[in-house]
Structure 1
Amino acid sequence: MYRSYTSGDLLSELSRLQRQFQRYSNSSSSIRGFGRSEFPAINIGGTPESVEIYAFAPGLDPTTIDVTVERGVLTLSGERKSPLKSDSKTEAVHINERFFGKFRRAVSLSDDVDPSQVSAKYSDGILSISVKRRESAQRRQIDIH
């Protein structure tokens, strides 16, 4: 009546169930993290002085990316144009796995960052955003007299 699973069997079964769920719900999220449809992929980390956000957006013109901060939320938005001709009567697209179209990603920032201290740089397909932490939130050594 009950089936026991090894760890490999369990992951296979979970992946199968996920694919089945996606088929019926048109969902692209993944049980292992964000789905492939999330563009651009982002990494978020930090130092004692800042929060560092890296958006992986190869092939984008950096002038087409909007970075805004409002009410503690940093938003990346823009559009990636498709190089494929959709109105051509002689060409057909058989597989198109690269994301094209409008995108928007939002990141909630912690209360210890200063929204007026944001810098962004685009190099080699990576948008690097640094948000400085408030000076009052940074660690400081107190001298004892």
Structure 2
Amino acid sequence: MTEKLLFTGKTHIVGGREGYARSSDGTLDIKLPQPHPAAENLFGAAWSACYIGAIELAASQRKIALPAGPEVDAEITLHADNGSFFLRARLNVSLAGIERDVAEELIHAAHGICPYSKATRGNIDVETRLV
């Protein structure tokens, strides 16, 4: 198997009261408030975008036409327990116009395709709900 680089994201982050995050291509330029809840929002947005692409790929592989674009509401929560920090995630997925059993198959398959799902597997609690 030959590995092929598809994309490299480059960001510059500055902390403190006037913290910010900027991508080298200019598509991301946001202020980072203290104590940085933006990190969970950014992670949720990035994961959701990737996950939607994975759902679309899973549908294409199965020759399933999606009547509407998939939608994901991500909830990334930060927890503390005795000085240790950890994340939990909930992905609420909407696949309008798709039978429930087919939709469940697609969202399950997407976790095997999406690099964010692969990276978090076994590392954080993830709940996926079809809404």
TM-score (norm 1): 0.29
The structure with more radius of gyration: 1
Structure with a larger share of its residues in strand:
1
